[in-house]
Structure 1
């Protein structure tokens, strides 16, 4: 997988396998079984994680989050793309180019 790939609104993303996720005081925390790394996804990051359990286009993900949270489109787009880019770099998600059927 190309972890340096730049995600766009047209990409489809989905969780990779091998993660243990738990709720702690309303925030999602996760451990990658493959690497042993821990991640605190926070509240909104945890919601994104839930929404990408099945493949979803980044644009649709942003639209869903804008319905659920009071946030303007530019801020939402920027923050979601940055968060997804971090998840991709850490091999926690796959993009449409690497999702296996």
Structure 2
């Protein structure tokens, strides 16, 4: 697992080609291209919703800190790891800001 962190200038956005649905409070997705199934969970689903529009990691973390009981730095680290996993699966794209 990569421990790289996203820079403040990088923009993260959903990749196209995924069907997403809410199931029992968790976000589940299906890749149209390869048929692979993903369960992002509740918080992962919220992150997925936040990257529906191009967002920086700082924007994502700011939203999550306001919604959940977590400190900014801990949230930033966990979100960064999660986004790296999504990036590795091709679920999100990173653009220079």
- TM surpasses 0.5: yes
**C-alpha displacement at 1:8, in angstroms?**
1.3
Runs (5+) with no aligned partner, structure 1? none
Where does residue 23 of structure 2 map in the other structure? 24
Number of equivalences: 94
1:21–1:28: 8 Å Cα contact kept in structure 2? Answer: yes
Where does residue 91 of structure 2 map in the other structure? 92
**C-alpha displacement at 1:7, in angstroms?**
4.3
Runs (5+) with no aligned partner, structure 2? none
**C-alpha displacement at 1:66, in angstroms?**
0.4
Structure 1 outlier segments of 4+, above 2 Å: none
**C-alpha displacement at 1:9, in angstroms?**
3.8
**Helix, strand or coil: the match of 1:56?**
coil
Whole-angstrom distance in 1 between the partners of 2:75 and 2:7: 12
TM-score, structure 2 normalization: 0.89
Over aligned residues, Cα RMSD in angstroms? 1.7
| Cα-to-partner distance string for 1:49-76 (whole Å, 9 max, x where unaligned) | 0010010011111011101111012220
